[in-house]
Amino acid sequence: MNEYRWSDLKVGLDAQFETTIGEDAMRRFVEISGDVNPLHMDDAFARNRGFPGRVVFGMLASSFYSKLVGVYLPGKFALLHGIDVEMKAPAFVGDRLTVKGQITHLSDPYKRLEIKAAIINGEGKTISKAKIRAGVHEPA
């Protein structure tokens, strides 16, 4: 886990990580959200709608933006203020995803930063884009 302090941050600083969404994550998301739409639950249903298999919940894939902020950029001292997500393409169970972000703006008076972020699948296709706002709350 990164422990960037406000003085460490610069516009252009970036981070990324890879993750795979598997069966366990899908099952746990259903338990938490209660979303039982067959597009996410039933492989045959998804295939009959022209997809190669079950579609990952958009909010499950987008949840990795929280990890980007809370673990990588800026990390330990982050407090997420908001995320604007545009879902561009579906992800599928078993997809290897790269989550990446770059600081685009810093506001010194409020110790607030903005991050331009994206999630890309293994084929290079953009799954989603996001504008993230976060604060840095360092210990006194």
**98-111: average pLDDT:** 96
CA distance 127 to 117: 11
pLDDT for res 140: 74
pLDDT band of residue 93 (cuts 50, 70, 90) is very high
pLDDT in tens, 53-63: 999 999 999 99
Q: Does domain 10-136 bear CATH number 2.60.120.890?
A: no
Q: Which of 137, 136, 129 is nearest to 65 (CA)?
A: 129
Tell me which residue has tokens 């950029």: 73
Query: By the 8 A CB rule, do 100 and 118 touch?
Result: yes
* DSSP type of residue 26: H
Query: Which tokens go with 41?
Result: 């639950």
Q: What is the CA radius of gyration of the chain?
A: 17
Model pTM greater than 0.85?
A: yes
Query: Which tokens go with 118?
Result: 């994206």
Domain range summary for the chain, segments of one domain joined by +? 10-136
> What three-state secondary structure class fits 96?
strand
